[in-house]
Amino acid sequence: MLDTVREIETPEGISLRLRAAGALPRAQAWMLDALLRLGVFMLAMIPLSLLGVGGNGLAMLLMFGLMWAYSVVCEVWMNGQTVGKRTLGLRVVNADGTPVTWVPSVVRNLLRVVDALPGVYGVGLACTLIDPHARRLGDIIAGTMVVHTSELPAGAQVPTVAAIPPPVVLAADEQAALVEFAERSGQLTLQRQEELANLLMSLTGRRDTAAVSQLIAHANWLLGRA
């Protein structure tokens, strides 16, 4: 298990896996958001500049909204995602894995001021590198974290061959190891497959290619295939 994964137990007794997002994808999402906001502001300035000095006031209200309210409103209304975060597949969640709510979102976005301080996000970058869950100061105080939305890719499917029962009864973790080997065998080189299969000589009684196909056949039996 990767160490950036945070496991949280839900009331149902199931553990959720939250994969913390590091500084790089978050910086990219922030860049996208910044460009988007700049674009919206410039587009809005075209009609506003025709309104004269009154338009100036509206432009400042718009700038205020884009500066302070944009992130909070997006995060609360779009399930913890601003447009940039959605594009990059990120999400802000509360400490218990639920979508971020009003007050925590306000905290993390107000304290952005502190994270952004020396130069461009100096404090924030240092903080994400130190924190085990890659949280910046605002996230720590708001009790939120930024996670990847997409799950780890599921292992490739076990190739179907005629099932052979293993000669001894295997424990649950041994079964899991065998099935995972069979799932991943397609991604390994032939030599590596054989090297791994040869470790189980005592189980299969064979070597090399024959041992690999024997193990896959055992995995098929463990999966309940006829």
Partner 1 sequence: MKQERFVAMHGREWDSLQSWLSALERQPQRTMRQEHALDFPQSYRRLCHQLALARGRGYSREVTDRLQRLVQQGHRVLYRPPAPRWHRVAVFLLAGFPRLVRSQWRCMTVAALLFYLPALITLVLMQLRPEFAHTVFSSAQLAQFEKMYDPGNPHIGRSSGTDLQMFGFYVMNNVSIAFRTFASGLFFGIGAIYVLAANGVLIGGVAGHLNAIGYGGPFWRFVVAHSAFELSALVIAGGAGLQLGLTLLMPGRQRRGPAMVAAGCVGAQLALGAFAMLLVAAFIEAYWSSIAALPNEVKFGSGALLWLLVLGWLWRGGRERSNGA
CB atoms within 10 A of CB 171: 8
CB of 23 to partner 1, least distance (A): 20
Return the structure tokens found at 87. Answer: 């594009």
Instruction: Rule CB under 8 A: say whether 76 interacts with partner 1.
Output: yes
d(CA 155, CA 116) in angstroms, rounded, equals 39
Distance of CA 84 to the CA centre of its chain: 15
d(CA 172, CA 155) in angstroms, rounded, equals 18
CB of 118 to partner 1, least distance (A): 12
Instruction: Rule CB under 8 A: say whether 169 interacts with partner 1.
Output: no
Instruction: Rule CB under 8 A: say whether 225 interacts with partner 1.
Output: yes
CB of 28 to partner 1, least distance (A): 23
SS3 state of residue 225: coil
Instruction: Rule CB under 8 A: say whether 21 interacts with partner 1.
Output: no
In degrees and rounded to multiples of 5, residue 217 shows phi and psi of: -65, -40
CB of 112 to partner 1, least distance (A): 8
Residue 110-139 contact track with partner 1, rule CB under 8 A, x = bound = xxxxx----------------------x--
Nearer to partner 1, 33 or 115 (CB): 115
Measured CA distances, 84 to 20, 47, 218 (Å): 17, 26, 46
CB atoms within 10 A of CB 173: 8
Instruction: Rule CB under 8 A: say whether 40 interacts with partner 1.
Output: no
Q: Are 222 and 175 contacting, i.e. CB atoms less than 8 angstroms apart?
A: yes
Name the residues that contact partner 1, by CB under 8 A: 10, 12-14, 16-17, 53-54, 56-61, 63-64, 67-68, 76, 79, 96-99, 101-104, 106-107, 110-114, 137, 140-143, 151-152, 154-155, 157-158, 172-173, 175-176, 179-180, 183, 219, 222-225
